[in-house]
Amino acid sequence: MNDFIKLSNKDNVITLLRNFKQNETIKIDEKNIILTEDIKRGNKVSINNIKKGDSIIKSNFSIGSAINDIAIGSLVHTHNTEMNLDSHLDFTYRLFN
């Protein structure tokens, strides 16, 4: 069983399937990724250096962009990303009876 999921060769993040400790190594795409911190199962990890403003790609789809540089092996989460939906969607909330 794999320890992570990567669905597209264009992805710059993977999703972890188990808890990892800082300095553990993940071998992917002929390279070794050394984790910069403890990261829990279900979270995303950068498998490339991602520059501020670059898209976060998961399943060959942009799920957001980096709000600061994200080093390879780092947690990719709400502290260093933002969603790109503001210019694409208009939300309306209403109660259903």
Q: Are 58 and 64 in contact (CB under 8 A)?
A: no
We report the CATH number of the domain holding residue 61 as 2.30.130.110
Distance, CA of 56 to CA of 70 (rounded, Å): 10
**Interval 9-51: pLDDT, tens:** 999 999 999 999 999 999 998 999 999 999 999 999 999 999 9
Report yes or no on 10 lying in a domain: yes
Could you give the number of structural domains in the chain? 1
Report yes or no on 87 lying in a domain: no
**Interval 76-96: pLDDT, tens:** 999 999 987 665 555 555 666
CA nearest 26: which of 9, 50, 2?
2
Report yes or no on 49 lying in a domain: yes
Tokens of 18: 């188990």
**Interval 49-75: pLDDT, tens:** 999 999 999 999 999 999 999 999 999
For the entire predicted model, the pTM comes to 0.83
